[in-house]
Amino acid sequence: MPPKIQPKLDEVQDQNSQNNTTYPPSHQLKYQSLGSLLNPQKNNQSSDPIHQIWQDKLRISRFKVSSLLKTLSLREKIKKENIYNINEDICKLHTIQFAMANDSSVGEYTGNMQNFGLEKAVGNLEREIRSEITGCWKDISMMRKDLIEATSDYLSLKRKMRLLGLKNKTNYNG
């Protein structure tokens, strides 16, 4: 069964119109499965094929917006998990360093070489954190650009349907 990934779009629009820079947390979104998106219920279908074409376009546009919102949320979650795991590794390396500093059985020269290797590993992990943050920023910037475009397409479709006198009869928004 495909995952449920469709928000209640009217809620997203209301929140976006209040603040253009923030998106609702994923726990506030209402989702619809991909299967129900692609196979709408018979009672929601119009007998007019033109009306049905516009409904399908609107449904796909909603799906794009909700998919981008979900992807943004997941990318941020992945970044947090990666940074947490890297910080855990850094803590482990620092623990080893402190243990070596207190261990009198390690010679001074050997301890310095091992300590140098550990410091280098910590530096590499810190570089990885910066790289993860930068990569996440790049990914999110591209997705936000796509989200603005998808939202614009959705709103344009709704305006066109209103101008043509077509009503949104789908039970899609819950």
Instruction: Report pLDDT digits (tens) over 33-45.
Output: 556 556 655 545 5
| Token representation of residue 63 | 């799906």
Band (169; pLDDT cuts 50, 70, 90) = low
Q: Please say if the pLDDT value at position 67 is more than 70.
A: yes
CA distance 98 to 131: 27
pLDDT digits (tens, 9 = 90+) for 114-150: 778 889 999 999 999 999 999 999 999 999 999 999 9
pLDDT digits (tens, 9 = 90+) for 79-95: 999 999 999 999 999 99
pLDDT at position 117 = 86
Query: Cβ(31)–Cβ(7) under 8 Å?
Result: yes
pLDDT at position 6 = 38
Amino acid (one-letter) located at 162: R
pLDDT at position 106 = 57
Q: How does DSSP assign the chain, residue by residue?
A: -PPB----HHHHHHHHHH-TT----GGG----BHHHHHS--GGG--S-HHHHHHHHHHHHHHHHHHHHHHHHHHHHHHHHHHHHHHHHHHHHHHHHHHHHHH-TTS-HHHHHHHHHHHHHHHHHHHHHHHHHHHHHHHHHHHHHHHHHHHHHHHHHHHHHHHHTT------TT-
CA distance 76 to 58: 28
Count of alpha carbons within 13 angstroms of residue 134, beta-carbon side: 6
Closest CA to 64 of 141, 152, 1, 142: 152
Phi, psi for residue 106 in degrees, rounded to 5: -85, 130
Q: Which residue has the higher pLDDT, 84 or 30?
A: 84
Would the pTM count as exceeding 0.85?
Answer: no
